[in-house]
Structure 1
């Protein structure tokens, strides 16, 4: 079993300056190695005249040292006695670290495993790109490169003190003791607006995760279909609704305070210390809101998994839902209104709800209990009648659902949860159960009036 704990560090001024210096050097080397891969990629895609290795003169005309391909060669091709093995891009760039420390001695201050983990970070970014899980890696800015990582077995803990190689011992707020039997797997040091934090991943192989429940162990009446929304964060098929904290007065006041702080910071003189302090206060409030949202999501995840055999969610394309509207060119050469200004508010509330983060937290909590989390196609879940399965856009009227075919009516979000649950049961190979009550049965007269 693997767990992750986060603690706040208490570094002194010298240790804080060292960590900031490490981040700057790591960011510079990350961008340099990224450019090295980009140049290699362009060289393979469209070779240019003169960029080649001259085997006769033993001169290297091509400045590239790495390739983005999955299998590439390392070594000097003009040395006949040397074998030219196939190695990964990580191994190719990792072999240049000793040369880096000779040419730039100040990189010797950084622990060797921290440099190697930086290379791993770049390698993972390219792996996700080739798998289609992320875009092509871009250079890091100082505001976006805020962490470095140690390899397993390098960091030590002693009560409320932690030893970081190359930095030394420092105190931390031991708010959550590590359970007995768990070993430290990896350690990540991260700079945030409220200070420095350390994320510790621990593991105990003797504590296995509970097995995921099989289809025979799943009871149909204990399967929850969860419809994600904005006014109501989650609406389940059993009639329960979970409020969205973004709609509370407290959250709205904090959002208003954030807007005022952003406005005040933008008026400060560029490059001044006051501007830096103002944006620091903005970042602090952003982090505070994110922490409150995360804590609320963990509570929701615990509530959804209690007494449940399976959870069903919609497989939403959240990124596509927040994409910009397509421009509408007109005959005069300009553009007509496409509704993007009105859609900004919808994009903002979708981001505040953080559906993706909620589902990921639910998956983590459900895995500890062996509860499967199923994702189904979201098409027409809010327009389909669970009684007669008639699909029409006229069935949905705001937060009300009234079937124009059979007269069934219900709350639109709860009805969506029922449809999501039924689709999840079909995906598991279980016949959808009947609705538990007759609350949705109305007469045609009530529909027309």
Structure 2
């Protein structure tokens, strides 16, 4: 008989709080770190020498995090079990010269990040969040969580074809949000505003990584509240589940491997950065963990050969209004449990042996799972999974939660799927 679930709807309540508190990748990893600290983890600096002591440790680098737990009796060649995800979401990001405007409107110049559903950012109350870099090189997280900006849509009277020919948006001209009135557009206004908002001296900020976000909070939806609507589910839903699972596993029984959480930035634009899955971060942390425990290159090779990674990212639930866009025999449903993502052209990393690993974890957790494959006529997206497998030579399996409105400013999932995913991740990490 399956072990009872560790997580229930209370996990989904907590997810909603996590989403609201994490308007940028930098906030997401800071909130994840705070949760891991409560579970006994401690931060280690990449610039310090590492020791081989047991217990939980984590590294933060920008909007990325790697956390791991070394159990008692772990050998240098002990393999890892990794749950991987990404912290970034498609959105609008502030340009280096942000102050703009025309015809009496004050605007903020933004650049399109990733592949957002552009129309979903129209006519929404938007906040501004991210990090500021100060003169001494330190950073400050900032979040203006109140309605500050808006991208107004053109009235139908001035675009009579919009209802018949569809909305056409020019990324340069039509997505610049307004945030006030005035003809005297002065360089430095936006950053001066943020300095004042955060109690910083004028001229203290010398760099910034800022992005807009919807200030509408996550909410249960539906007659029976069986759905959740909210921002950044792709992919903070997975990050949150992984933090919960890692914390639960490390508070439990003895482990025969080292559980690891890897949350990367920049997945939405290719993962090629020092904080992306195609960068050196994960490999560096795993290798240093082996060497800190007195291991050799041979131990590193043995550990990697026995390692398995679950790459967790959201996928497409069957859409009732567009069922023909999905594969006719694969129809993942919300609240049907996590999905196993397969693509024979290696856009996902799952193969038959990987499927068996995930199926076994779900069976131990008493969690149902579904299979996802794209319609042959539709190009398939990808994840950190194939990158992780190729870069590090470790078995990787792509999974996730089925949602609607992927890449929208506000996405939709089933209220039970987040805790079903977390339960499956616990079983996987426990091995």
Task: Place the TM-score, normalised by the shorter chain, in its bin.
Answer: under 0.3
* Structure-1-length-normalised TM-score: 0.20
**Higher relative contact order by CA 8 Å / sep ≥ 6: 1 or 2?**
2
Structure ranking higher in strand proportion: 2
* Structure-2-length-normalised TM-score: 0.21
